[in-house]
Amino acid sequence: MNLAGKLNGIRDAASKRIPTEKLSIMHRRTEELRASGIMDHVISPGDQLPPFALPNQNSKIVNSTDLLSSGALVITVFRGHW
């Protein structure tokens, strides 16, 4: 199964666990975001990111320009659930 198929499976399974009322709110808000034009400003594959500074896993602020001076940069977005 490809990534799209796996993601669709995760979405479908989540849809069965989330109460209908909450799922409806999520879908409505997603459509409102799309209608706002926000998708015109998202980073796409192949785009160059603007310089940024963010906290790392140890809460230390790191600068993308400094990191790139050492080589390629891989960004991982971790969505924790605490």
22-48 residue pLDDT tens: 999 999 999 999 999 999 988 888 888
Query: Band of the pLDDT at 74, cuts 50, 70, 90?
Result: confident
48-71 residue pLDDT tens: 889 999 998 899 999 999 999 999
Q: Is 71 left (phi over 0), alpha (psi -120 to 50) or beta?
A: left
Question: Rounded to an integer, what distance in angstroms lies between the CA atom of residue 46 and that of residue 69?
Answer: 19
Decide if 61 contacts 53 (C-beta within 8 A): yes
